[in-house]
Amino acid sequence: MLVAGIDVGSLTAKAVILENGKIKASAVIRATPKPDESARLALGAALEQGKLKEADIAFRAGTGYGRKKIRSADAIFSEIACHAKGALADRPTARSIIDIGGQDAKAAIFDENGQVLRYQYNDKCASGTGRFLEIMAEVMGVKLENMGELALAAKNTVRISNQCVVFAETEVISLINAGQEPGAIIKGIHQAMAGRVAALARSIGVTPEVVFTGGVAKNKGVAAALAESLGLELFALSIDPQINGAFGAALMGAEQAASGKMAS
Amino acid sequence: MITAGCDVGSLTSKAVVMRGDRILGSAIIRSRTKPEETARQVLDEALKQAGLSQKDISKCVGTGYGRERIDFVNDTRSEIACHGRGAKWLVPTARTVIDIGGQDCKAMRLDENGAVGRFVTNDKCAAGTGRFLEVMADVLHVPIEELGKLSARAKAPVVLASTCTVWAQADVIEYLNAETSIEDIGGGINNAMAGRVASLANAVKVERDVCMTGGVAKNIGVIRALEKLIGQRIVIPRKADPQLAGAIGAALLAQEGS
């Protein structure tokens, strides 16, 4: 039985297709302004990636900020619950998650069954989200994909005192004009990012083991800075961190589908 | 007694030369990288306007974020104290002062003697500061001085769902791409700004007369929207440019100081 999990965010939509708990196909696409359309496109891309047929999908689970608009969803689940589910399935010893997306950041702690105990998210302020890095990469004249490596490679760092993306951008420009080492500035940018997210995570008291997910988890510089800021080890998932929400949704969908079958 | 006040902000710096209650000269310039240089330059311009020189000044007080770096001032005072004092001079009946600068905003209550009571400030988030308007004016390709006037010509001001300057900027770009009129977008921008400022102002419980100081006091669109949100008329200072409030307060405190 194939089950699909679809995570519709504001910048990207992700789809994961599971069979017996194993990922058979997945896709990440740019979201359109219409969540329902994004969901369809993401699922379509995953089906193509796995050479699967839409008719074979027995159950569709939706999550993400656009979930209520996914017309084809058989069930929808909260993002936090899906993230916890996915993290736990990939790493049974996980008890906390920090997820940084393109436009938001969340932290949650959960028990061994995936029951979410506490969570906190920021979807109001661009600071501590992927957007911060995007803007800084542009200011530094560096490709976003290279930012993490450059941060790791830098020996020195420069402290960026502003948390607000708008003010930090001006501060970085001043640092560049003052002739500061680009590598040190980039390291400082990653530390500023990490500081903001660590504060969010600390506010709910994240405890080991902490997994780091979301598109920004692919940035090793942020991962390192965040671990340092928290004083805790951060674990990566074995799957693409960006699809964890969709993965969790699919798992929750599979459970619901199975219990539905048993009930009838 | 002739005194001077220097208000060194992160975006603009202001200087005022006063004799007693009268302004003899003033200046507003764009801040440069070094506060000392900017302070020197803006004071020189104010002195020039007054037809005076440094030696004519008995005392100079500095304020603003760069105040500790100005070597020629006799004393420094907090921005809150200077803005409160300056607002009292500008609008003697003021009991609530809303100051919106280039990178911060503050709301404060004054008692009947003009002493500052409760106050709240925001210098961490760009929303609700002059920077928000600067960013948006840039996206619209409208000079910032013209942004305020757009509200009056707006038929259906847009709603900017996000408070954050970064997200609001993205919203504005979308509206532009959808060919919404500049007036409707401008109106929406001014309203959004007013919304953020109103939250701050309401935190000190607004009491009349309410006056606005700082550069954004020149944006009529924000003022009108803010009046609706706080339910009070906002008195616009006429005696002098509201952007000079901090420097005026500093110059007056120089006369009154111990």
Paired strand residues for A148: none
Fold of the domain built from segment(s) A94-236: Nucleotidyltransferase; domain 5 (3.30.420)
B166/A165 CB distance under 8 A: yes
Give B164's contacts in chain A (Cβ within 8 Å).
124-126
Q: Any idea what the CATH number is for the domain that residue B176 is in?
A: 3.30.420.40
Q: CATH number of the domain at A1-91+238-264, please?
A: 3.30.420.40
ipTM of the assembly?
0.89
Size of interface A-B (CB pairs under 8 A): 34
Same domain, B194 and B106: yes
A106-129 pLDDT, tens digit per residue, is 999 999 999 999 999 999 999 999
* Dist CA A14 CA A5 (whole Å): 8
pLDDT digits (tens, 9 = 90+) for B172-214: 999 999 999 999 999 999 999 999 999 999 999 999 999 999 9
Residue A253 predicted with pLDDT over 70: yes
Rounded distance between C-alpha atoms, residue A188 and residue A110, angstroms: 31
Q: Which residue of B has its CA nearest to A175?
A: B33
Please check whether residue A32 touches B, CB under 8 A.
no
From the number of C-beta atoms within 10 Å of its C-beta (0-12, 13-18, 19+), residue A148 rates as buried
Q: Are residues B136 and B98 in the same domain?
A: yes
**pLDDT score of B201:** 96
Which residues of chain B neighbour A174 with C-beta distances below 8 Å? Answer: 33
Supply the pLDDT for residue A263: 57
Residue B248 has pLDDT above 60, yes or no: yes
Q: Give B124→chain A minimum CA distance, Å.
A: 6
Q: Are residues B151 and B232 in the same domain?
A: yes
A31 to chain B: which residues are within 8 Å by CB? none
Quick one: pLDDT at residue B257? Answer: 67
B130 and B223 assigned to the same domain? yes
User: B170 and B114 in one domain?
Assistant: yes
The answer to whether residues B46 and B125 belong to one domain is: no
Is any Cβ of chain B less than 8 angstroms from the Cβ of A163?
A: yes
Pick the residue of B34, B129, B167 with the most A CBs within 10 A to test the interface with A by mutation. B167
Chain B hits for A128, Cβ within 8 Å: none
- Is A166 close to B135, i.e. CB distance below 8 A? yes
User: Average of pLDDT values for B236-253?
Assistant: 94
Q: Are residues B26 and B141 located together in one domain of the fold?
A: no
Contact residues for B186 (Cβ-Cβ < 8 A; gap 6+): B140, B142, B147, B150, B151, B154, B157, B221
Give the mean model confidence (pLDDT) for residues A239-246: 96
Q: How is residue A207 written in tokens? A: 């405890």
Instruction: List, as ranges, residues 77-116 from B with C-beta within 8 Å of A.
Output: 103
Domain ranges for chain A: 1-91+238-264, 94-236
Interchain contact, A125 vs B33, CB within 8 Å:
no
Q: How many angstroms away from the CA of A164 is the closest CA of chain B?
A: 5
pLDDT of A244 above 90: yes
- Is the pLDDT confidence value at B9 over 80? yes
B7 lies in the same domain as B103: no
Number of folded domains that form chain B? 2
User: Which residue is closest to B171 within chain A, CA to CA?
Assistant: A33
User: Does one domain contain both B209 and B258?
Assistant: no
Residues B223, B120 share a domain: yes
In terms of residue numbers, what domain contains B1?
1-91+240-258
Which phi-psi region, left, alpha or beta, contains residue A159 (left: φ > 0; alpha: ψ -120 to 50)?
Answer: beta
Query: Would the CATH topology of A1-91+238-264 be identical to that of A94-236?
Result: yes
